[in-house]
Amino acid sequence: MIVASNLSKRYPGGYEAVQDVSFEISAGQMVFITGHSGAGKTTLVKLIASIERPTAGSLVVNGQNLSALRRSAIPYVRRHLGMVFQDQKLLFDRSALDNVLLPLQIVGMPRRESIRRAQAALDKVGLLAREKARPIALSGGEQQRLAIARAVVNRPTVLLADEPTGNLDADSATDILEIFADFHRVGVTVVVATHDQNWIERYHPNVLRLDHGRLL
Amino acid sequence: MKAWFAQHQAALASAFHRLWSTPLNTLLSLLVIGIALTLPGAGYVLLDNLRDLGRNASGVQQISLFMNLDASKKDVGDIESRLRSAGAGKWKFVPKEEALKRMQKSEGMAEIVASLPRNPLPDAFIIEPANTEPEALEVMRKEIAGWPKVAHVQLDSAWVKRFDAFLKLGKLALWMLGGIFAAGLVAVTFNTIRLQVLAQAAEIEVARMIGATDGFIRRPFYYFGALQGGLGGLLAAALVAGAVGLLGGPVGDLATLYGGSFALNGPSLLDALVLASAGAVLGWLGAQLSVSLSLRKFD
C-alpha cells in the first residue's frame, strides 16, 4: 500500500528532515509514526500526502510513484487519502455538514447523494445531531471528529493523520483513537503520526520510530 | 460527464451567490463596468445613426451624365451600349425634349421656357451605379467623362468622400476608446477577483489538500468575472438606450425644423447582446489573469 525506499527530504537551506528511510505498510495495517518533536514525523506524513516532494529515493502510495508524479496528477492521488491535520483546517464560514460535503463537491458527486454520504460520515463520528452547527461552536474534540468525518467521507483506502490528538484532553484523545481503531477494523489502512505513548501501549500497533530524520 | 456538469453548475451557483451576498460591492463594480462600456457603446450607436443618415440622403449615389448639345440619336445609342458593357448598374435616359417639358411644369418656368428660341437642354442619363463605394464611383465618373460626345459628368463625390472619411475617423476613434475601456474593465475584474482569492485563502488551501484540481478552484472565479462583465454590459446597453430615449424627441424636433424626418435609433437587442458578450469575455479574461497570478502563492 505504502512503500518507501531510501526516501529523503532535504528542505531548501539544507535541513534534511527525513534521511534514507525505507519501510513498507501493507493494506489494512494500522501504523504509528512516533519520535520526539522535530524527528521528521510531519515531513513523512506530508510526503505520503504529496504535500512535499521527496528529494531522493522513492515513495509509492496506492501503486503511484509520488516522486515521479506530474503536478496535475496530485489531486487525484490525494482523493484516495483521508487527511486529518493537527490544526483540523476546518472552514469556519459554513456548517459542519458543508465542511464534510466539500470533498464530495470536489469529485462532483450529485447533491442528494453527497448529503446522504456526509450525514453517514457525521453519524460515524457521533456528530449527526450537530450537522448545522458552525465549527466555532464545537469543542476541540468535536472539531477533530468533524475533521475525521471530512477525511473519510470519500471512503479513502488510507487514513492519514498528523498529531490528531495534539491539542486535546485525555478523554477526547481516547475518543479519537477509538474512531481510528474502528476504521482499521473495517479494513482501512490507518497511518498516524503521534508522540503520545499511551496509544502505543494500549493498541500495540506497528510502529515506525523516527529520530533526527532516520528510522530506528 | 454528469460530474463535470454538476461541477460547472456548482461553480456558476457559487459565482451567483458571491455576487448576491455582497450587494454593495456588486453594484459598485457593475456601475464601473457599465459606465466604462457605455462610452464606446454610445459612440457606436451614434456612428450607426450617422451612417443611416448618409444612406438615406438622396442623390448621393447617382451619377448624372450630360451629352453635348449636338449629340445625335446614334451618339446616345453608343453611350447606352457602353454603359451596358461597363455593367454600370441601372440608368434612365432623359431626352432633351422631356427635360424641357419637366422644366415647363415647374412653377414660374413656363414663360421663361416659352420665350427661349430653342431648347437649351442636353440629352442626359441618370445612372444608379451598382457599386456605390466612393472609390468605385470616382473611377466610373472618370471613365464616363472620357467617352465621346459627353459634355459633363456630375457626381457629388466630395460630400460622399468627406462623410466617408469622417465615419472612418469616428470608427477608429471608437476602436481606440473601446480598447482603453476594455483594458479598464479587465483591470477592475482583476482587482475584484484578487480580493476574493485573498478572502477565500482558507477554502482554497483546504480544497487543494483534499484533492481539488486547479480547474475546480479556478472555475467559480471565471464564472464570477464573466457574470460581472456580462451584467455590466447589459447595464451599459440600458444606459445607452435610456440616453437615446431622452434625446430621441428633441432630435426629431430638430430634424423637423430642417424640413426632414429623422428618428434616432437606440441599441438593438443584438447590440445589447454584443455589449454583454464583450463584457463577459473581458471579465473572463480579467479573472483568468487575476487567478493565475493570485494562486501562485498557494503552490
**CB-based contact (8 Å) between B14 and chain A?**
no
Q: Inter-chain contact A110–B10, Cβ cutoff 8 Å?
A: no
Strands annotated E in chain B: 63-67, 89-94, 124-129, 150-154
∠ CA(A195), CA(A199), CA(A202), 5° rounding? 150
**How far is Cα A47 from Cα A83, in angstroms, rounded to an integer?**
12
* Cα–Cα distance for residue pair A16/A13, rounded to 1 Å: 9
Residue B54 has pLDDT above 80, yes or no: no
Q: Which of A106, A109, A111 sits opposite B211 (nearest CB)?
A: A106
**A108 and B203 in contact by Cβ < 8 A?**
no
* Residue to test with chain A: of B200, B210, B213, B219, most A Cβ within 10 A: B210
Chain B positions in Cβ-Cβ contact with residue A88 (cut-off 8 Å): none
Mutate to test the interface with B, among A81, A102, A155 (most CBs of B within 10 A): A102
Q: Does B163 touch chain A (CB under 8 A)?
A: no
Partner-chain residue, chosen from A78, A102, A107, that has the shortest CB–CB distance to B3: A107
Using the beta-carbon criterion (under 8 Å), do A78 and B210 form an inter-chain contact? Answer: yes
Banded pLDDT at A197 (limits 50, 70, 90)? confident
Which grid cell sits at A70? 506530474
Higher pLDDT, A113 or B72: A113
pLDDT over threshold 70, residue B41:
yes
B137, HSE (Cβ side, Cα atoms, 13 Å): 23
Question: Does ipTM come in above 0.95?
Answer: no
Query: Which are the contacts of B246, defined by CB distance < 8 A and separation ≥ 6?
Result: none
Contact pairs from chain A to chain B, CB under 8 Å:
58
Strand order in the sheet with A214-215: A81-84, A158-162, A189-193, A30-34, A206-211, A214-215
Average predicted confidence (pLDDT) for chain A: 91
Alpha carbon distance B284, B241 (integer Å): 25
Among A10-24, A89-103, B242-256, B274-288, which is the least confidently predicted range? Answer: B242-256
Contact of B60 with B97, CB cutoff 8 Å: no
Rounded mean pLDDT, A98-113: 92
Query: In the predicted model, is pLDDT for residue A167 greater than 90?
Result: no
Beta carbons of A108 and B207 less than 8 Å apart: no
User: What residue of B is the nearest CA neighbor of A50?
Assistant: B209
* Mean pLDDT within A56-60: 93
Please indicate if any CB of chain A lies within 8 Å of the CB of B209: yes
Comparison of pLDDT for A102 and B264, the residue scoring more: A102
Residue B107: what pLDDT?
Answer: 66
pLDDT surpassing 50 at residue B59: no
Contact between A106 and B3 using a beta-carbon 8 Å cutoff: no
Please list, in sequence order, all residues whose beta carbon lies within 8 angstroms of the beta carbon of residue B185, skipping any fewer than 6 positions away: B33, B36, B37, B229, B232, B279, B282, B283, B286
pLDDT at B33 over 80: yes
Q: State residue A18's pLDDT score.
A: 92
